[in-house]
Amino acid sequence: YAQHIMKRLAAFGAAAATGIAAFYSYNGSKKVEHKASPTYLGYHFNDEGQLRQVDSDKPFEWNGASHYDALGDWVTDHIQDAMKDRGLEEHFVPSSKSPHVNIFFKKHPLDSSDNLIFLVQGSGAVRAGQWARSLCINDSLSTGSMLPLIDWISDEGFSVLVANPNLNVDGHSKIPGSESPEAHTLFCWDSYSPDFSQVVIVAHSYGGKSVFDLISSRFDSIKDKVKYIVFTDSVHGKYSCHEKLSPEQLAWVRDHSINFVESSDPLNTPYGIVHGTPCLSAGHTDHVYTTACSQPSFTRIIKTVLSPSDSSSSSLNSPFIPTTTTTLPPLLLDD
């Protein structure tokens, strides 16, 4: 099986284990002035996307929870301004006149094939544009934010939708259609997917649970439009989401998804089918790094399945799916 899957990955481009550092170097050429203050609480982002103290160039130092949360809010503003600088529109849903949440969308002007990449993060304090707030603060925007993936999506000519599933209350009011991460993901799908013929979903951590709920409730449109789902250390198994799908739905998931899981094994090491999805190593033992470390591999998958020359009408995975299952490390719930 390992030989089969590695041969298949070879079709996506050069070996995915190479080029990670180059892929994730922060693209300074796309860094412009942001609406958020360039410095806050004595910190700024350098040209490599690393948070540094203005006076000493030292990395982040803990100074209490309130300081961390305030800095985290500024980091969110910085990332969301950077998305707008890249041409993504900030949409307030369901309406700016009611309790609302902001999401980000860009219809690529050259996307004649109507291809959409739908990004869904995990749970906790992460907001639109982030995979892991802790990495944005303690490591870099290259590993913690969605900006490198958004840059790749734009360069490939695809459209992009960035969800914001963890912002469920505006003031003291529940946000209609976004009362929970699952409801928000469903709202985004219903609102944006009808305009596209082909969709790829990338979902990290708890985002995987929301996508499994989406498959269950919108299966007809999912199987019609979704070419592939990339999970990164999805926690859907903790909630037994795969056991709630019909046999047809579960077979579709098996043939149209992959889950890159935390592991000490090299990137793309196969583990068989676990909780309904084929699993490969993300090449890192820390849950929060799994999206960043697996991105060089899954972007090749995305490019292949959305290629006009791709003739696979039913399954990308089916020739290479083993029948065995594997026990994986415990899955985390918060990023």
Using one digit for the tens of pLDDT, what is the confidence trace for 14-34? 333 333 333 343 333 333 334
How are beta strands 159-162 and 169-170 bridged, if at all? unpaired
Q: What is the mean pLDDT of residues 301-314?
A: 72
Which tokens belong to 269? 């090491």
> Quick one: DSSP state of residue 335?
-
Residue type, 102: N
Cα–Cα dist 6/268, whole Å: 8
With residue 154 as reference, give the H or E element that holds it: helix 147-156
Identify the band that residue 309 occupies on the pLDDT scale cut at 50, 70 and 90: low
Cα–Cα dist 281/167, whole Å: 30
Q: Output the pTM of the full model.
A: 0.86
Q: What are the pLDDT digits (tens) for 235-286?
A: 999 999 999 999 999 999 999 999 999 999 999 999 999 999 999 999 999 9
The DSSP string of 297-311 is HHHHHHHHHTSTT--
Q: What beta strand segments (E) does 115-225 contain?
A: 115-120, 159-162, 169-170, 173-174, 198-204
Cα–Cα dist 254/316, whole Å: 10
8 Å CB contact between 263 and 226:
no
pLDDT of the residue at 33? 38
Q: What are the pLDDT digits (tens) for 184-212?
A: 999 999 999 999 999 999 999 999 999 99
pLDDT of the residue at 37? 86
